[in-house]
A and B are shown apart, each in its own frame.
Chain A
Amino acid sequence: MTVATILVVDDSGYARRLLRQTLEPLGHAVVEAGSGLAGLEAYAVHAPDLVLLDLTMEDMGGLEVLGRLREMNPGARVIVVSADIQRSTGRQVADAGAFRFLAKPAEPAELAEAVQAALAQEDG
């Protein structure tokens, strides 16, 4: 089991708590950001191993955040966790370079598996 620092970017404090509740018992350190901009700042400060990113946020949408993260670090590992589960959204997320697209609320087992797979991925 790889233990990592994981940045959770979601404007819902409740959603962040649900994710933290799954991640911390697995030994991961969780950093939270409550907006897209705060997420970019937190990424620069904490250099996390993985980002869990919501799409629908008021200040900056998750797809834009994802684009900027990959400009900052082309090897950034990002799992999108969103309520918007349209097929077209899934395609946009994949095209933008996300590792995985999970529907909210993410089931703990599914989230743990996706996180482990993302962390096991080779850089870049």
Chain B
Amino acid sequence: MRLTDLETDALNELFNVGLHRAAASLSDLTGKRVTVDLPRLWVCSMDELKERLVEVVTGDLATVHQFFGGAIAGDAVLMLEYVKAVQLADLMTGGDVALGGRLDESAREVVAEIGNVVLSSCLGAFGNMLRVAVSFAVPRIQIESLDGMMRSVVIERERGTPYALVAATRFSLEGLEISGFLIVVIGVKSLELVSRALTERVG
């Protein structure tokens, strides 16, 4: 699928707003300023996405997936290296959970709730910009390898179109060693609908 310059620009702006909205929610939750890299957008296969991520994350990951549906469908993911997820749970609870550097059940609930708030902000912004209803599933936290995460990303099942639109940004909490990624993956079918909705707004 080829996108026009206007469509590419519109999609960049959509994800810019959505991912920054997520960062603002994380800032509200943690009381820390959140620095966000410029979001990057690719139309790529899941294999290509993995190649990009393998260069920037190591070890086990704590991921929160928020599947979404409605006019557009896909998977929004908060992805943290395991040790960073422990630190984040620690920060949020004053050290009451994540004892011994492990994400026990309570700590996982904390991280899942953070993911829920952050990712819902992002998806809500999409709905507002596209003027469509976006419904979300209950967030799911997983401790998994990068391979596992790539397998668990859910996009529309489309025969012959293994490609998806991927938007990703790295964020970090100011003054702390906590950083992670926000990733949104949507299928090509949704991409066409999104592009049309955005470009119709500017005539």
| Residues of chain A at the chain B interface (Cβ within 8 Å) | 12-15, 17-18, 21, 56, 58, 82-88, 104-105
Contacts and interface: CB of A to CB of B under 8 A. Distances in A.
Contacts of A13: 5-6, 9
Interface string B172-194: 00000000000000000000000
Given A15-B13, A85-B24, A86-B28, 19 more contacts: A12-B16, A13-B5, A13-B6, A14-B9, A14-B10, A21-B202, A56-B16, A56-B20, A82-B20, A83-B17, A83-B19, A84-B23, A84-B24, A84-B36, A85-B20, A86-B23, A86-B33, A105-B17, A105-B128
Residue in B17, B27, B203 whose Cβ sees the most chain A Cβ within 10 Å: B17
A112 B133 CA distance: 26
A97 to B, nearest CB: 20
B31 to A, nearest CB: 10
Contact of B28 (A15, A21, A84, A87): A87
A7 B35 CA distance: 27
Contacts of A18: 201-202
B13 A86 contact: no
B198 A104 contact: no
B36 A14 contact: no
Nearest to B15: A83
A92 B202 CA distance: 31
Residue in B24, B34, B38 whose Cβ sees the most chain A Cβ within 10 Å: B24
Given A18-B202, A21-B202, A105-B129, A84 B20 contact: yes
B12 interface: yes
Contacts of A15: 13
B21 interface: yes
Interface in B14-63: 16-17, 19-21, 23-24, 27-28, 33-34, 36, 38
Interface of B: 5-6, 9-10, 12-13, 16-17, 19-21, 23-24, 27-28, 33-34, 36, 38, 128-129, 198, 201-203
Contact of B16 (A83, A86, A87, A88): A83
B9 A83 contact: no
B6 A14 contact: yes
Contact of A87 (B21, B27, B198): B27
A14 B198 contact: yes
A14 B12 contact: yes
A16 to B, nearest CB: 9
Nearest to B203: A21
A56 B37 CA distance: 9
B94 to A, nearest CB: 21
A63 to B, nearest CB: 13
B50 to A, nearest CB: 26
B6 A86 contact: no
Residue in A14, A82, A105 whose Cβ sees the most chain B Cβ within 10 Å: A14
List of 8 A-B pairs having minimum Cβ-Cβ separation, nearest first: A83-B20, A14-B10, A14-B9, A17-B202, A83-B17, A86-B27, A88-B33, A12-B13
Contacts of A87: 27-28
